[in-house]
Structure 1
Amino acid sequence: MEKRTKHKKSRKLWLIIPLAIIVVLIMGVGIYAFSIYNNAKQTVNEKMHEPVESIDHKQAKKNVKATKPLNILLLGVDERANDRGRSDALMVLSLDPESDKMQLVSIPRDTRTTIIGKGSEDKINHAYAFGGADMSVATVENFLDISLDYYVRMNMEGLQELVDQLGTITVDNEIEWNDGKYDFDLGPVEMDGDKTMHFVRMRKKDPNGDFGRTKRQRQVIQGIVDKGASAGSVSKINGVIDILGNNMATNLDFDDMKNLMSGYKDTRKNVTSYMMKGNGTKIDGVYYLMIPNEEVEKVHGMIAGVDI
């Protein structure tokens, strides 16, 4: 991998859900209804649309218009006033319209790698703190030796609002627990926004720790996609658009989203997910996740569609 420099890696995902890409699917339910069309277009193009230098937007537009496979970086961030925050959840969403498949690969936030634009090794989630979405895109591209077509950044504060706007979401819970406020039984669990936040935050009662938590994050993404794409969500589109407009940024513009909906809508029917694996260690007293080259090459192959 010529593009990828020498890197070590680290880990520990937090509670953020970078679910913003589902705006494409949510909007698609009723995007051509005149009552919401102008609101959606104005919100996306004027409030959400933020291009970055590290992505060739002309080529990305050609790819989505030609319905080619796409890679989209999902960033879940914890931003507050006067603080850019860090990307506490990173996922690469790959869409393959030819086989109608969607793949989510989670990158642990403590992964140690070269931060492009800084020239030094650090935790991969620090790229966002140093240089925003632009540096995060460049760093992930270098780390996995892939090309990204789009990115979507979602502030965690918008997650609870989004789920509440949709009403509830349902996930298939695999671990039974009680966190003092909610019971999470085995099997299908219906959740409002607050319960969803408790669902994705839990770690200590999960035998798989942060790896289990990131799996629940992906379950929530799928639950929101399924609820947002349902016919019953049509009347909630405007509210969803307003919430996303206040909490989301992306280099997708309105036309890109329409092309995504028309050409990639069936990819959600066949979803797979994967969490990158490595070994934790401390360097100068700081915890990192060191991901071996073999694991990086494996994930590169999964995203590039190459068997390794």
Structure 2
Amino acid sequence: MEGNSKQEKGKKSRKLTFNIIIGISLFLIIGVCVYGFSVYRSVANTLNSTHEPLNHEVSKNRDLKINFSEQDSISILLLGVDERESDRGRSDSLILLTVNPKDQSSKMVSIPRDTRTEIAGQGKEDKINHAYSFGGVETTIETVEDFLDVPIDFYIELNMESFKDIVNALGGVKVNNAHDFTYDGKRFPEGQLQINGTDALKYSRMRSEDPRGDLGRQDRQRLIIQAVINKGANIKSLANYNDFLDVIAENVRTNLTFNDMKDIQSNYKAARQNIQQVQINGEGTEINGVYYYVVSQSVRTELSSMLKQHLNVN
């Protein structure tokens, strides 16, 4: 991870990889509990406004369309996008979520943004987060499918600029912090912490003081994800849910329809109680002066086999 730290020097102006922002959408698809007509209507209007279908309905790695009522296992690619004025931007956060409702489990695979792989349709290898700049969500999905050799059924894309507003709209979140540290003038002592949007941003950014470097930072980001899922799992607990929904409407895009989300809520909700965090093992290296995170073929094969078994696909 030392090589990675060196490559990050001089990049302070860049947006950080906010894996935590992804958790905002998870409660909508596997934990939301709407009540009363006015809240139901607000949620429906919000989620209808976020719908952006893909050019294909079924992944090339699947034979049939997902049947929610039969509790087919599903996969969702979660993207935290760093949008820029001059170009399309990059997906600086990539998490593959697989959900198996029959064994009531989910797996959350964080894909390091510097992972070196072939970019779909480009005929060359590059950092996996660059796929978004070449062809948006479609190219990113195809690239991740090729990298892991698994189907991606759905996607949820979030604008990373909305991070602080989302966490604040939830009234902050609680995390159990394993490592005492100070970052950007804020101390995070060991133990359970209640943190707002600004503090959650700082909590997720630090890596130089973490003995595990970027891997430790990813762990803290995933802690925030689960905290957000738990906090948002019941929308009636949110005093200012309208503010929360406004942020979602402005910053989330997905190929899931509102009816899809209702079906998932009905048939998949128990799977959020057992979320396994999955780390992709690799090594940092420089190639032609550029830092990459290189994942061996054996690691990819092992990971692919595990995910295929979880998704019940060949």
What TM-score do the two structures reach when normalised by structure 2?
0.87
Offset of residue 229 of structure 1 = 1.1
Deviations 1:55-99 (A, max 9, x none): 528988633343211111011111133432111111110111011
Aligned length: 296
Shift of 1:198: 0.4
Alignment of 1:85-100 (within 5 A): 85-100=89-104
Query: Match of 2:55?
Result: 53
**Do the aligned partners of 1:25 and 1:225 also contact (CA within 8 Å) in 2?**
no
* Structure 1 gap segments, 5+ residues each: 1-9
Alignment partner of 1:233 is 2:198: no
State the AA in 2 paired with 1:132.
G
Q: 1:197 to 1:41 in 2, by over 3 A?
A: same
Correspondence 1:1-308 to 2 at 5 A: 14-17=16-19, 18-24=22-28, 28-30=32-34, 32-45=35-48, 47-56=49-58, 62-230=66-234, 233-305=237-309
Give the whole-Å Cα distance in 2 for the aligned partners of 1:26 and 1:245. 18
TM-aligned CA deviation for residue 23 of structure 1 = 4.2
2:163 and 2:90 map into 1 onto residues whose CA distance is 16
Shift of 1:234: 4.4
Deviations 1:158-214 (A, max 9, x none): 121111011010111111001242221112111111000001111111111111111
Q: Which shifted more, 56-65 or 72-81?
A: 56-65
* Percent of residue pairs bearing the same amino acid type: 39
**Deviation larger for 163-172 or 76-85:** 76-85
Q: Pick closer, same or farther for the CA change 1:213–1:61 going to 2, 3 Å.
A: same
* In 2, Cα distance between equivalents of 1:142 and 1:75: 17
Quick one: distance in 1 between partners of 2:66 and 2:283?
39
TM-score normalized by structure 1? 0.89
Aligned partner of residue 240 in structure 2, secondary structure: helix
Number of the residue aligned with 2:13: none
Q: Secondary structure at the match of 2:45?
A: helix
Task: State how far apart, in whole Å, the 2-side matches of 1:231 and 1:36 are.
Answer: 9
Partner SS for 1:189: strand
CA shift for structure 1 position 21: 3.0
The RMSD of aligned alpha carbons is 2.4
Q: What CA distance in whole angstroms lies between the structure 2 residues aligned with 1:238 and 1:223?
A: 20
Residue type of the partner of 1:140?
V
Is the alpha carbon distance of 1:19 and 1:84 closer, same or farther for their aligned partners in structure 2, counting shifts above 3 Å?
farther
Deviation of residue 26 (structure 1)? 8.0
In structure 2, the CA distance between the partners of 1:180 and 1:148, relative to structure 1 (3 Å rule), is closer
Partners in 1 of 2:30 and 2:277 — Cα distance?
Answer: 21
Distance 1:26 1:190 in 2: 24
Structure 1: which amino acid aligns with 2:70? A
2: CA distance, partners of 1:174 / 1:225: 20
